[in-house]
A and B are shown apart, each in its own frame.
Chain A
């Protein structure tokens, strides 16, 4: 059975400890009396998405019916008698992680849970993990750091391995100072979710109603408050012209697409370096959007500009400043930005360049920073941006 679980994992199906335990529990209850039932049961327990059905079927077929000819060993007692489990148990006892007293207290399920936790954890970090199944004899465990390059099983704090953990800096991506990446996406999303909600005034404010009613001498007065769901519009304008933005565009899109639930509408527009009366609906910047329509949006609409704001000063300040040769717009970029700020009072500029580098780059960063509040595209920056927009938004949401 261990082999089968590994087999699934090798095939790319995510397996968790709970699944394995559930599977054992079901086998114990005799829910798999024949191969067909075993198949259905294993699929129910291990496969959660239809995308994996095919992979699962192949894995199942090759394991139970394939060339290896392994008989369906559904007897879970075998596992406990088997070498890998016994060896793991011995390790645990030797290292004092499990005392004999504890062993007596734990039931089999608890033990199995711990065992699988170890095995799966190690599997995740160690590429050659499945070799372990084949050899069946060699201990895969690194014995708390004795083994060169070995992985640790529970022994985190022994023999200087703490040092290694620190050196690994596995959590660096979660720090406040790190810039946007796949690892901290979830954190960013959480902070974005606190963008102040604005729903219809349809929820009865009970406390307020009772207070008002009491004041009225028992004459009922119903007070409604805004429902806790967001019905704002969000416009995201992305500078997709420069190199500095390229790595961030997919991430930025993922974030705001995930936020779509919270907003009534999320719209993306694109521009290059600075804005001269037009933004574009497509990344290739061919379908332009009417400026008049854009600036006549509701004042409560949130605007997030994402760009490095790093350009030649002339692009911002001079007439006919656009970097695009074909543009013949007289009004300088700065004035367009001012107009945009007036149209969207609740707006923020997010910059992929780190805050402490701003001084060293083009002066345009400071100049734009005077028009729009600017934050960098780090976790801390996004948190600041969200709280800034919430405060700004209070004035305009009631309208």
Chain B
């Protein structure tokens, strides 16, 4: 099973090696790096290119880990036991009718190999991460209510992303392959932009990239990333601009800089001081 890039996604050769090694070794791949470096996108591309179904879990801070495996809907069962399940076909005496599987559960139970994405794992607290560790490592979890063990029929390809909001624990890191995606340099960025805007004129692209990388170096609170660049170029193209603008007159600057302070700093407006 070899993963190559797709026509919509530029794949750095190093990253390709990494993904393939992780797939071959059957280890979860933890991707870290700045927002907008395509961490989440990578998982989607793997599933597209290998034609595997995708199971996606967007983590929330309230997750305990278990709901990613299964949820036991007691309230529904209680309701059915009191008022009858009617025509829904659910059998109150059968607990399986009231178990709903989360992304991990579905990936484990599926007959085909799947891509499992755990997005922004750092949002969960460390206890939830510890719970998930064992599940992912052993490829199995237990449904506590009936003490039934669910084992993975096919080990899914596990991609985990983190924005490093919180430090991940050492045991967690130990069980993953970790890769930090650096921000793409200008030449790679050119390829990326071309994938999205195949008919962009060379001078415009060059000028845009120059402005873009210059802005990134200026130490804004939220430096513009790939997504902002693509938005910006899209805005320029649709408004028919020939050039990105220069100096303080950059067109559609709002698509690049999102924070008020950054915008004020860019325009050179000083905060009025009291003294």
Measured CB to CB, the residues of A under 8 A from B are 16, 18, 22, 25-26, 29, 31, 36-37, 40-41, 44-45, 47-50, 53, 204, 206, 209-210, 213, 218-220, 222, 261
A sample of 11 more A-B contacts (CB under 8 A), given A22-B25, A37-B21, A40-B17, is A25-B25, A26-B21, A26-B25, A29-B25, A31-B24, A36-B17, A44-B177, A48-B174, A48-B178, A49-B173, A261-B125
**How far does the alpha carbon of A219 sit from the alpha carbon of B82 in the complex, in Å?**
7
Please indicate the chain A residues that have their CB under 8 angstroms from the CB of B79 in the complex: 220
Contact B178 A261 (CB under 8 A): no
**How far does the alpha carbon of A219 sit from the alpha carbon of B79 in the complex, in Å?**
10
Q: Contacting B178 at CB < 8 Å: which of A44, A210, A222?
A: A44
**How far does the alpha carbon of A266 sit from the alpha carbon of B178 in the complex, in Å?**
32
Please indicate the chain B residues that have their CB under 8 angstroms from the CB of A31 in the complex: 21, 24-25
Q: Contacting A44 at CB < 8 Å: which of B21, B74, B82, B170?
A: B21
How many A-B contacts if CB must be within 8 Å?
Answer: 56
Please indicate the chain B residues that have their CB under 8 angstroms from the CB of A49 in the complex: 173, 178
Residue of A25, A50, A204 with most partner-chain B CB within 10 A: A50
Q: Contacting B180 at CB < 8 Å: which of A16, A26, A37, A53?
A: A53
**How far does the alpha carbon of A389 sit from the alpha carbon of B173 in the complex, in Å?**
35
* Nearest-Cβ distance from residue A343 to partner chain B, whole angstroms: 30
Tell me, yes or no, whether B32 is within 8 Å of chain A by CB: yes
A-contact 0/1 string along B96-134, CB 8 Å cutoff? 000000000000000000000000000001100000000
Tell me, yes or no, whether B159 is within 8 Å of chain A by CB: no
* Residues B170-186 near A (CB distance < 8 A): 170, 173-174, 176-180
Please indicate the chain B residues that have their CB under 8 angstroms from the CB of A206 in the complex: 74
Q: Contacting B75 at CB < 8 Å: which of A22, A29, A50, A222?
A: A222
Please indicate the chain B residues that have their CB under 8 angstroms from the CB of A37 in the complex: 17, 21
> Which of chain A's residues has its CB closest to B181's CB?
A50
Q: Contacting B78 at CB < 8 Å: which of A36, A40, A47, A213?
A: A213
Contact B125 A40 (CB under 8 A): no
Please indicate the chain B residues that have their CB under 8 angstroms from the CB of A26 in the complex: 21, 24-25
* Residues B19-54 near A (CB distance < 8 A): 21-22, 24-25, 27, 32
> Which of chain A's residues has its CB closest to B175's CB?
A18
* Nearest-Cβ distance from residue B113 to partner chain A, whole angstroms: 18
**How far does the alpha carbon of A206 sit from the alpha carbon of B22 in the complex, in Å?**
41
Contact B21 A50 (CB under 8 A): no
Contact A16 B174 (CB under 8 A): yes
Contact B78 A220 (CB under 8 A): yes
Please indicate the chain A residues that have their CB under 8 angstroms from the CB of B17 in the complex: 36-37, 40-41
* Nearest-Cβ distance from residue B59 to partner chain A, whole angstroms: 15
Residue of A48, A210, A213 with most partner-chain B CB within 10 A: A48
Please indicate the chain B residues that have their CB under 8 angstroms from the CB of A22 in the complex: 25, 27
Contact A44 B179 (CB under 8 A): yes
> Which of chain A's residues has its CB closest to B172's CB?
A48
